[in-house]
Chain A
Amino acid sequence: MNETDMFADAARAVLADRCTPGVVRAIEDRGLQAPEARALWTQLEATGLADAMLEEDRGGAGLGLAQAFGVLEQCGAHALPLPLGETMAARAVLDQGGQPQSGQIIALATGRLLADGGVHCAMVRSAHAADAVLVQVGSECRLLAVADARSAVQARAEDAALDWSAAQVQAAPQVAMAAGVDMRTLQAALVAAQMAGALGSVFRRTLQYANERQQFGRPIGKFQAIQHQLAVMSEQVFAARMAAQLGGTPPGGSGEGLQLDRLRVATAKARCSEAALAVAETAHAIHGAIGFTEEYDLQLYTRRLHAWRQTAGSESYWHRVAGEGLLQHQGLTLDLLRRITDVAPAH
């Protein structure tokens, strides 16, 4: 537990210092082309966080997703526009598959094998902030360089649709997915933890704003209507955070590195996505017009919350997964709930 906090503290220290709103905007605008991007990444590498999910004898700290929760939460809390969590997981996957590390920033995606042997990814989140993409194609993963890809625009400037030729795919390092791991589930768990952090930031900012902004001669937080909206927001943030913590917890409460329980991930991603919508909506309502401006930092978090809601399955995607699981289960719902929620305390 202390060790976990240590990693989260390291992440918080670097991000609070270096991942300022100005830096976030610069990287959002220009991706890895922005000088701020490499500078920030160098700082993050120096903490050892990017390799923290490698085994200790491989130069890492042997963190599983559950122990990495605090780090991921900090990434979300600071709107980090670089895929640190994704890189941590990708490097662990590669290392387990015997691939050497090259210090790259790695995004995650699911891809489709084309008839000609090429690979197409319809959506690579943070493509422009990554050196490479670890793409799951069927039961295998390939590490493909972003610079090599044919790139098409996506709705957000940070993202892209990417295509690689058969030759590039053939030449790419390749690892098998570990049994019981699939890219979408892994990504959903990673995103949920970051959402929990962003939800917390949005909530803290809104609370602070309500205490400062004066109308009718008093802080708006003194109005009962605003108080109640903030109370409801806190409930959403609280529940989403608990759910996100569950999401990273391995099956049966103990397990290896990247092993995930799909129902726990469903809980995490569905709950965080629901909360994202509610929390962003209320935060903007309480901030009034100022929150709607580019210049005001609230948008760094709320835009990201909406994007994350659309990443690795929205709430309905995971409701379906959870619903199928529940319908296949025989007996009391309570027993499935217990399976999802009974988690041995982290040690």
Chain B
Amino acid sequence: MSTLDSLALTCIPAQDEALRAEVRAFLAQATKEMPAHLRARSWGGYSTEFSRQLGARGWIGVTLPREYGGGGRSAFARYVLVEEFLNFGAPVGSHWIADRQSAPLILKYGTEAQKRFYIPRVCRGEAFFCIGMSEPNAGSDLASVATRAVPNAQGFLLNGQKIWTTNAHHCQYMIALVRTSGSAEDRQRGLSQVIVDLSLPGITVRPIEDLSGDSHFCEVFFDNVQLGLDALIGAEGQGWEQVTAELAFERSGPERLFSSIVLFDQWLDWVRTPAGRSEAAVLLAGKVLTQLAPLRAMSVAVQQRLAEGGSPIIEAALVKELGTTLEQFIPASIADALFAAESEDLPVELLMTLKYVTEASPSFSLRGGTRDILRGMIARGLGLR
């Protein structure tokens, strides 16, 4: 319970808030021509050109040190940026993972050479990363990964397969969780993280189509891929600890509240018209607003904890579980509200957005750890396990 009492209301510092106007002016212009059903993809949207533009403005890697090309700013600066990107539905998918996870991971565990090599290009929006954790037989149960990197004279010989790797087909690099020693029975022991240059011989990347017709996640096969010694990131055998820390970053951000926000805003515009307004719609609008508000307050409070150097793993899990539940509630209840009456002429663009978000919504509570896994973590935090 101390966890629950511990988060206090807080607000984003003024110097970070100050970023918002400039970012918003840029985004309003940049996304003006994009239809809402495309903006609804938000961090799933993909545009290398857009990433480069953001990089040029210093809006990627804002929390990373200046000496590596970053912005040297606080976590709240990134929070403001991300919030704006998501709410405008900016296509930030190409650099998303590098900015959120990979570059911070390299900064924390990497060698000086790795930092100098990778981070500046991430910040310019030129180097993109993907996360190679999941495998066909290791999803929730990551400790059972079977992909192996066997140490040899040149470095490591990599064999195995990853799956569900978001944007592997567009990325130059993957940070993969692999087994460097022991066997699956050793569970967390013997796991390491390696940086894999996806252009190396022996690598096959095959996109998988999702149920909405998009192809963002992939299968990746490693067939005798020779990695250099410098592929290892962090210490050998420390992969599990590193991955756990990385996941806390992945779970706490605004992307766990705002995946359906483009749809919600677009629907509100319809409800603001006489034809779209109904009693049920007013109540639904209020229900979503009054659920989103405490969630945002919680998410900002978790951010504060991260900024203080804490590791609010349980709090982040709470936010993600509640947040993705609301993200899934939004398309479901908007559909109900729109079709509660006799069929009307509804705006087609709104229905297209609704279709996309409805079809994408199962993934909200899968990516980054399933609902059951998060509940298990919370239960552990409550002392039940």
Please report A residues at the B interface, Cβ cutoff 8 Å. 200, 203-204, 207, 210-211, 221-222, 224, 226-228, 230-232, 234-235, 237-243, 245-246, 249, 253, 263-264, 266-267, 270-271, 274, 315-316, 318-327, 332-334, 336-338, 340-346
Measured CA separation A195–B326 after assembly (Å): 22
Inter-subunit contact A267/B293 (CB<8 Å): yes
Inter-subunit contact B298/A242 (CB<8 Å): yes
Q: Which of B290-324 contact A (CB under 8 A)?
A: 290-298, 300-301, 318, 321-322
Q: Does B4 contact A (CB under 8 A)?
A: yes
Q: Does B385 contact A (CB under 8 A)?
A: yes
Partner of A239, one of B8, B11, B298: B298
Inter-subunit contact B318/A243 (CB<8 Å): no
| Given A222-B384, A326-B268, A327-B272, A337-B289 contact (CB < 8 Å) | yes
Inter-subunit contact A228/B282 (CB<8 Å): no
A225 to chain B, nearest CB (A): 10
Inter-subunit contact A341/B296 (CB<8 Å): yes
Inter-subunit contact A345/B11 (CB<8 Å): yes
Measured CA separation A284–B385 after assembly (Å): 22
Chain B facing A: main interface SS? helix
Inter-subunit contact A337/B321 (CB<8 Å): no
- Chain A residues with CB under 8 Å of B10's CB are 343, 345
- Chain B residues with CB under 8 Å of A324's CB are 282, 286
- Chain B residues with CB under 8 Å of A322's CB are 285-287, 289-290
- Chain A residues with CB under 8 Å of B292's CB are 333, 337
| Given A242-B297, A319-B287, A332-B265, A203-B1 contact (CB < 8 Å) | yes
B11 to chain A, nearest CB (A): 4
Inter-subunit contact B4/A238 (CB<8 Å): yes
B36 to chain A, nearest CB (A): 13
Closest 9 CB pairs of A and B: A323-B286, A319-B286, A322-B286, A227-B379, A231-B378, A323-B285, A323-B282, A231-B375, A243-B294
Interface size on B, residues (CB 8 A): 53
Q: Does B9 contact A (CB under 8 A)?
A: yes
A188 to chain B, nearest CB (A): 12
A240 to chain B, nearest CB (A): 7
Measured CA separation A316–B375 after assembly (Å): 28
Measured CA separation A321–B293 after assembly (Å): 14
- Chain B residues with CB under 8 Å of A221's CB are 384
Q: Does B231 contact A (CB under 8 A)?
A: no
Can you name the residue of chain A whose Cβ is closest to the Cβ of B11? A342
Q: Does B12 contact A (CB under 8 A)?
A: yes
Partner of B322, one of A239, A241, A318, A346: A239
Measured CA separation A19–B271 after assembly (Å): 49
Q: Does B382 contact A (CB under 8 A)?
A: yes
Partner of B375, one of A210, A232, A321: A232
- Chain A residues with CB under 8 Å of B322's CB are 235, 238-239
Inter-subunit contact B9/A242 (CB<8 Å): yes
Partner of B83, one of A224, A237, A334: A334
- Chain A residues with CB under 8 Å of B352's CB are none
Inter-subunit contact B265/A207 (CB<8 Å): no
Inter-subunit contact B378/A326 (CB<8 Å): no
Partner of B87, one of A224, A246, A321, A332: A332
- Chain A residues with CB under 8 Å of B300's CB are 341
**0/1 string, B5-44, CB within 8 A of A gives 1:** 1011111100000000000000000000000000000000
Can you name the residue of chain B whose Cβ is closest to the Cβ of A227? B379
Could you list 13 further interchain pairs (A-B, Cβ under 8 angstroms) beyond the known A242-B9, A242-B297? A207-B1, A228-B375, A228-B379, A231-B321, A232-B375, A235-B321, A235-B322, A243-B294, A318-B286, A324-B286, A327-B285, A333-B264, A343-B9
A276 to chain B, nearest CB (A): 14
